[in-house]
Amino acid sequence: MSDASDARLTDRRNFIRFLAASPVMTPTAVRTLVGSLTLGSTSALAQSYDVLRAPAQAVGDVIAAPEQALNVMDFEPAAKKALPPAHYGYLASGVDGDETLRANHEAFSKIRIRTRRLIDVRKIDTSVTIFGQTYATPIMLAPVSSQGAFHPEAETAVAKAAKVKGNGMILSTVGSTSIEDVTEARGAPVWYMLYPTDDWTVTEALVKRAEAAGAPAIVLTVDRQGGRNTETLFRLRRDDTRNCKDCHAGGFANEVSRKPMFDDLDVSKVTNLYGTGMTWDYVDRLRKIVKGKLVLKGIVTHEDAEEALKHGVDAIIVSNHGGRAEESLYPTIEALPEVVKAVNGKIPVLVDGGFRRGTDVIKALAMGATAVCIGRPYCWGLAAFGEPGVAAVLAIMQREFDTIMKQVGALRIADITPDMVSVG
């Protein structure tokens, strides 16, 4: 730096100190003026850690507004407060003792991040391109069923928040909103997660409708074949005084009567939503009718990943249904490396399960994931505050991810490499 530049920088700092000491300048005014003075500066000035930059405000055990949240976990108590016990139980439940649900997130604590220094990270690019579509972030929204149980605006509110933040989105077969309405709210095509049913005619109709709406990928869920024991849901259901039969009358036709993707379909022959009995022959059959990309969700082993390649699958989502499929105690972040190794870069590998922090995201990307999917966190935001809650969850996770990208010295997603993490 030249002597003249040194002098200008010294003068600027002295002027800022003078303003801060002035009795006529409020802290807000000082910060605003300082921002204008440093705008466009090429000097790397120190970050502010002024605890007073946030408004002084009493916050109880449960946040009352999205802006009060410090992390995405703050939204869960607010969601629990806002929801009937059974609806919260559906969202919170894993299977059996919820041990796999907990293991999904706890496994991240075994992975350390190796940071780098003296890299200019003032400008980073977090965008990622999958199947020719570019998203602002590798944080996608996983399919979650029946979001109308969490908020009246359901998937529409989620899609609107995703549009603003640039997140990709996957819609569930049994979502509360049609793919046409979700696509309109998102302002771009969304992926469609397929529960196949045991009636091929219905399955084929669901695929055709999703593709007609522009869905670039059909995501076949393959981890719900053996049934499940959702004890947490059953336990909280006991505390719900409502007559749940008003909405859950029993029988497949009644169960999907409020699910718009089944409108005008004859479901009289359907007895099972999850297509019990699926084999790799079913994947072959589906591959023949899917015109776009076919994704398998629920793969957690290298054997199944290798088999998926043989059957023309275009991508894999490493998933145990958020700990809601089986009590395997096998966290998805631990399953990720063997799946990545098996596909050897031939197709994208996404992963979900237990993602709560931006640091979780970068760990998965460093271990070979193309993108990650979050489910419960954005639904907590939806249940508590609607669209603003979803937007706040996405903003918090993105802010954390931006921060850790800078700390490892990655300017773009491609710069995130395996040597940035240490496992064990």
Residues that are catalytic: 321
Q: Is 362 left (phi over 0), alpha (psi -120 to 50) or beta?
A: alpha
Residue 228 assigned ligand-binding role: yes
Q: What is the C-alpha separation between 128 and 180, in angstroms, rounded?
A: 24
Residue 41 assigned ligand-binding role: no
Residue 352 assigned ligand-binding role: yes
Residue 36 assigned ligand-binding role: no
Q: What is the C-alpha separation between 390 and 383, in angstroms, rounded?
A: 9
DSSP letter string over 146-210? -GGGT-TTHHHHHHHHHHHHT--BEEETT-SS-HHHHHHHHTS--EEEEP--S-HHHHHHHHHHH
Residue 93 assigned ligand-binding role: no
Q: What is the C-alpha separation between 236 and 221, in angstroms, rounded?
A: 26
Query: Is the Cα dihedral 151, 156, 157, 158 positive or negative?
Result: positive
Residue 354 assigned ligand-binding role: yes
3-class DSSP assignment, residue 331: coil
Residue 324 assigned ligand-binding role: yes
Residue 376 assigned ligand-binding role: yes
Residue 356 assigned ligand-binding role: yes
Residue 58 structure tokens:
């009493």
Residue 321 assigned ligand-binding role: yes
Residue 353 assigned ligand-binding role: yes
What letters, b where the CB count within 10 A reaches 16 and e where it falls short, cover 4-28? eeeeeeeebeeeeeeeeeeeeeeee
Annotated binding site for glyoxylate: 90, 195, 228, 321, 324
Annotated binding site for FMN: 172, 221, 297, 319, 352-356, 375-376
Annotated binding site: 90, 172, 195, 221, 228, 297, 319, 321, 324, 352-356, 375-376
